[in-house]
Amino acid sequence: METKLKGAPPVSPERALRVFTTPPATPSSLQRNAGIPLDLDLVRALRINRSAVERRAATLPARRTVKKEWQAAWLLRAITCMDLTTLQGDDTPTNVLRLCAKAQHPVRRDLLEALGVADLGITVGAVCVYHAFVPIAVQALAGSGIPVAAVSTGFPAGLNPLPQRIDEIKASAAAGADEIDVVITRAHALAGRWEALYDEIRAFREACGPALMKVILGTGDLATFANVARASQVVMMAGADFIKTSTGKEAVNATLPVGVVMARQIRDYRERTGCAVGFKPAGGIRKAKQALEWLILMKEELGDRWLRADLFRLGASALLTDIERQLEHFVTGRYSAAHRHPMV
């Protein structure tokens, strides 16, 4: 994948956009992570240099800059990797239907035409809702190719009895959810009960069946980077298809230092097993600039393959509005009011 670097020759906006937004010529050959036996020696031996991680995270946005047509292209890529989400207490069927409509047409048609990419069929990566709205979302997105993701397992705390959490997963899968976002019991990680965490995620994976399993660590509750790293390894060993930072309900959600830690665990797991596990930051990602930072982190730490929706997702809702505003600025030179880009 090309990236506009300092000193590179100029290119046309249309070429930049198509280079970065056109899918690969061949479909993904990724195989699901089946998991491996729990390796407690490896898990307990993990150590994280906090200052080094924070320095690395601080330098990432400065190491690679994208401007003009290249920035527009990266922002369009961010949209294709977005889990467009509504997880509010006042969600209604009408809100979910409007969200699904936005998911299928995330950018105004006039902007896509001005950018020269109206024929690319750009949509979001998935729509994420509570279990109660899965049937509505499945019906609204039928034929679009956009997956429906359901949060499950007593989201966001994950403290319901284990049988209830497993039944909730099965119910969401039966209702048509293509992906299930499950929540770990944070107490297992905080107390170092890695066998219990492994067994919990194995049970969740079995309940998911063919649905993709995205495992939420709740990193803001895990106290240390070492706990984040160990929990990441354990849930991948247990069969996680994605590891996800947060529910969006914690006091601290997705941060770049946590992203560095989790991305490096994904890289280590792939080197040891050959399995590629996806990554999803979620919570507090509201600005286009933040989306670019997460994409840069993926490119720098994991490579271009983690810049596509089958291995990278951004859990967000308000983010899409800001990205649309930035795209309109690229096209017109002016920033528009947020009401010109309604979410729902």
| 160 vs 139: CA distance, rounded Å | 29
Active-site pick, 181, 221, 241, 322: 181
Q: Are 296 and 60 in contact (CB under 8 A)?
A: yes
Q: Which of 110, 61, 122, 15 is nearest to 288 (CA)?
A: 61
Q: How many angstroms from the chain centroid is the CA of residue 176?
A: 20
Active-site pick, 214, 244, 299, 322: 244
- Does 181 participate in catalysis according to the annotation? yes
Q: Per-residue DSSP letters for 66-117?
A: --HHHHHHHHHHHHHTEEEE---TT--HHHHHHHHHHHHS-S-HHHHHHHT-
207: helix, coil or strand?
helix
Residue with tokens 């292209």: 73
- Does 249 participate in catalysis according to the annotation? no
| 61 vs 66: CA distance, rounded Å | 10
What residues have CB less than 8 Å from 311, skipping those under 6 apart?
Answer: 30, 276, 277, 278, 279, 302, 305
CA angle 94, 288, 49 (to 5 degrees): 115
Active-site pick, 4, 102, 214, 280: 280
- Does 170 participate in catalysis according to the annotation? no
Task: Write out the catalytic residue numbers.
Answer: 181, 244, 280
